Structure 1
Amino acid sequence: MSSLAEKSAHSAANRPLSGEDRGRAAATIAAQLTFENLAREFDTTQALAGFDLDVKPAEIVCLLGPSGCGKSTLLRIAAGIEKPTGGRVLINGREVAGPSRFVAPEERSVGLMFQDFALFPHLTIVANVAFGLKALTKAAAHREALAALKRVGLAHLADEYPHILSGGQQQRVALARAIVPRPAVMLMDEPFSGLDVQLRDAMQEETLSLLREARATSVIVTHHPEEAMRIGDRIAVMRAGRLIQAGTAETLYHQPSDLFVARLFSEINELAYKVGASGVETPIGVLPAPGLNPGESATVCIRERGVVLSSGGEGIPGRVLDVKFLGDVSRLEVALEGFERPIKVRVGESEGWRSGAEVRATINPARVLVFPA
């Protein structure tokens, strides 16, 4: 391929596809995926420690959590690449991994897309996509692979080799290869982590559209809360090999189960208090502290976006100490009467606050979170 033609192909393939540019994904029969008390140990390290989750047919669930919390291990066990130390994995109620049964990966109807895409450099792009279609004749596999490449907008590069592809194109080829066997369950391990910000947003939309069309039950690993909120029907938050909380983006944002989850989904001010006889006494009123006894320590969380500033009227008096420009928003540091240390506040950049400005702050107590310290 000439340099000019290659640049043109790259430009076309890195654009979001219009309805006329692409075919449609072949539909599959979605399966229910269940993890029951799943455990996995590596020598002295426990990667999974009693993980439970039920993923409904055709549901898209994002696994969210820090590095080393067990997300990738969970996918590898579901795909059959690793065996669990304890617990079970079930697909449509059938045990595929557990104490009494282990089903080979090729018999699970599970597709796995790796973080690094893992394309074979010595195979053409269409041969990469057709690689897993061993049950079909060569002609049928080629035909199915071409259809999948058309769906992701890369049919024109079918006979080229992976080394000419950009990052976004490699992601599309890997996605085509994963969906072409029409798996009942699709597992994706940080599929967008290697892409730049603008391309990542476009590929998230394309991938989501493809998964919806294919109707495959999907589990997607990510480190990014915003990505999880954008893609997932539900989000499963993991920490130290366990499920901490699972729910919709709205549930996890408004009703986080603990401080760890609250930190993931919003920027917060964390303030230390002692619980009194009637709750936690703060400058914005007495806050309920369910599950905490008088005298115990509590962390009061005020979202940076939950503080409303005005130049007069009602509210807690204060002064702007510092302003950081962050594009569409500004992050203010504000000294407020009654608080021992400054409060961080995020406001629209157009509000035009400056250091030294006198303000009044309104904080809705119903939007403040209280957790054990």
Structure 2
Amino acid sequence: MKKIVNYICAPRLRVDSVSKNFNDKNILNNVSFSLYPGEVLCLLGASGCGKTSLLRIIAGLDKYFNGNILINEEIISSNSIYIPPDRRPISMLFQDYALFPHMTVEENIKYGLKELRKDQKTFKVNKIIDDLGLTDHKGKYPHELSGGEQQRVALARATAPEPIILLMDEPFNGLDRSLREYVREETISVLRNSEAAVIAVTHDPEEAMIMGDRIALMRDGQIVQVGTNEEMIFNPIDKYTVNTFSNVNAYKSKVDAKKVMTPVGEFDVSNLKEGDNVEVLIRDVAFNIINATEKNSYIVKQIDFTGEKSRILLTPNDSNDIIKIVIPGKSQIKPDDKIGLSVDNRYVHVFN
């Protein structure tokens, strides 16, 4: 279950107009957003869009940029101010875990607890090890652990100092699917029980929606949109956002009498000008199968059952347009069947 985040209070972290150039290439371009206490914000985007560069700037590993980084409304990085990483209340969980190979599990977790007495360190580390199911591995070295176990140790080391901000760079990227899902759920549970505000970098939209209280979608060094799952799905700011979270049916159309016509029917667009050329994007999850009628009839061309859902290709009776739909579970329809469609307008988006 996701936390209830207080977005009225002052942000824990504020990224203010951050830009970075390298070899005349714009790596980050005027990036701004806020992270609130206890929030998990997923930074989502394709490889090379600037996610890791932004994380390094926040952590203090890169001090050459324009803009401001603030924690609790105090500047920790700018053109004139720089607080080094070891003086920031931030922990970072790296993609490759970055465990010390010459240290045991217990020693790795203890590493960030320099200010505690020996007995306090031992008590705290033993509790963390027990909570994460690592008791049988506390004396082992990283090379003796599985990928999932290494990830848990890295998470334990990152959260042991009780940072107010935790940065996670593709933390599940090296795990196979079944282990990835298990470790991700375990990680989410740990994060929900901590007080840390978290930025988790991922290139996987589904993972972002599972983990995040909000998502910050990046493209080419810029923030495209920041919002909850519902805002990303039902109120996308542009075509890129729509395509990031869904497979879509895309159709060219023109506004006529405040409506646009597509192969699956017409839709109201009262906010657009008469005669505007537009693109209509309809998510493949927008459809329900109903009985065919004379004016609502489509021929089934292909069905692919993936175990959790059925992907179906259709064509209208009167054209060669392709329509892609997805329905839960295994469909009972067969190729060459004729079906009707109803459309949930919340999944229809029109852009000019």
State TM-score, norm by structure 1: 0.86
Give the superposition deviation at 1:249: 0.6
> What SS is found at the alignment partner of 1:370?
strand
5+ residue gaps, structure 2? 1-9
Give the superposition deviation at 1:137: 4.4
Residue number among 244, 259, 267 corresponding to 2:247 in the alignment: 267
Number of equivalences:
342
Give the superposition deviation at 1:42: 1.4
In structure 2, the partner of 1:18 is none
> What SS is found at the alignment partner of 1:170?
helix
Return the letter of the residue paired with 1:288: V
Query: Aligned partners of 1:297, 1:348: CA distance in 2, in Å?
Result: 34
Give the superposition deviation at 1:282: 3.2
Return the letter of the residue paired with 2:289: L
Report 1:112-123 matches (<5 A): 112-123=92-103
Give the superposition deviation at 1:338: 5.8
In structure 1, the partner of 2:87 is 107
5+ residue gaps, structure 1? 1-29
1:287 aligns with 2:282: no
Query: Aligned partners of 1:221, 1:287: CA distance in 2, in Å?
Result: 37
Cα pair distance change 1:197/1:228, threshold 3 Å: same
8 Å contact from structure 2 (residues 234, 346) kept in 1? no
Residue number among 280, 285, 289 corresponding to 1:300 in the alignment: 280
1:321 aligns with 2:301: yes
> What SS is found at the alignment partner of 1:122?
coil
Cα pair distance change 1:82/1:191, threshold 3 Å: same
1:333 aligns with 2:317: no
CA RMSD of aligned residues (A): 2.1
Query: Aligned partners of 1:81, 1:315: CA distance in 2, in Å?
Result: 62
Query: Aligned partners of 2:80, 2:52: CA distance in 1, in Å?
Result: 23
Cα pair distance change 1:139/1:367, threshold 3 Å: closer
> What SS is found at the alignment partner of 1:350?
coil
Query: Aligned partners of 1:315, 1:308: CA distance in 2, in Å?
Result: 16
Residue number among 141, 164, 167 corresponding to 2:147 in the alignment: 167
8 Å contact from structure 1 (residues 168, 203) kept in 2? yes
Give the superposition deviation at 1:289: 6.6
Cα pair distance change 1:339/1:98, threshold 3 Å: farther
Percentage of identical aligned residues: 38
Give the superposition deviation at 1:184: 0.6
Give the superposition deviation at 1:152: 1.3
State TM-score, norm by structure 2: 0.91
8 Å contact from structure 1 (residues 309, 362) kept in 2? yes
8 Å contact from structure 1 (residues 64, 237) kept in 2? yes
Give the superposition deviation at 1:84: 4.3
8 Å contact from structure 2 (residues 209, 215) kept in 1? yes
Query: Aligned partners of 1:366, 1:49: CA distance in 2, in Å?
Result: 32
CA offsets 1:112-160 (integer angstroms, 9 cap, x no match): 0000001111111111112222333455434433332222111232122
